[in-house]
Amino acid sequence: METVLTNLRSLGEVTLAALVLGAGLPMVFALGVRWWSAAASAGPDGTVRRNPVALAGAYLCLIAVLVVVVAAVLFVAKAFLADRLGIHLFGQA
């Protein structure tokens, strides 16, 4: 019975990670793109007005996505980096 509970707990953790990274990360990217499009608007006389709050939000979202993607690539390559280059990340011995 203990094995079943351990397996169910692990399944829940994997499902949560899949939801956060599989649906949450694209949502953050889409929000960044949406704010990027709202960062500049043309006035009636043709002048472009900047919205610094929307631009800052867009930058934050896109940088967060970039950081997660780079961390994921490094996590996948941690054994290679430890073996070939001697760089130990994420507790790789």
Give 84 or 58, the one with higher predicted confidence: 58
Give the separation between CA 29 and CA 78, rounded to whole angstroms.
25
pTM of the model as a whole: 0.75
The pair of structure tokens assigned to 28 is: 């953050």
Confidence of residue 19 (pLDDT cuts 50, 70, 90): confident
Query: Average pLDDT in the 31-49 region?
Result: 86
Contact assessment for residue 31 and residue 61, using Cβ atoms and an 8 Å cutoff: yes
Highest mean pLDDT among 7-16, 57-66, 77-86: 57-66
Give the separation between CA 76 and CA 82, rounded to whole angstroms.
12
* Span 50-71, pLDDT tens digits: 889 999 999 999 999 999 999 9
- Which of 72-84 are b and which e, b meaning 16 or more Cβ less than 10 Å from the residue's Cβ? eeeeeebeeebee
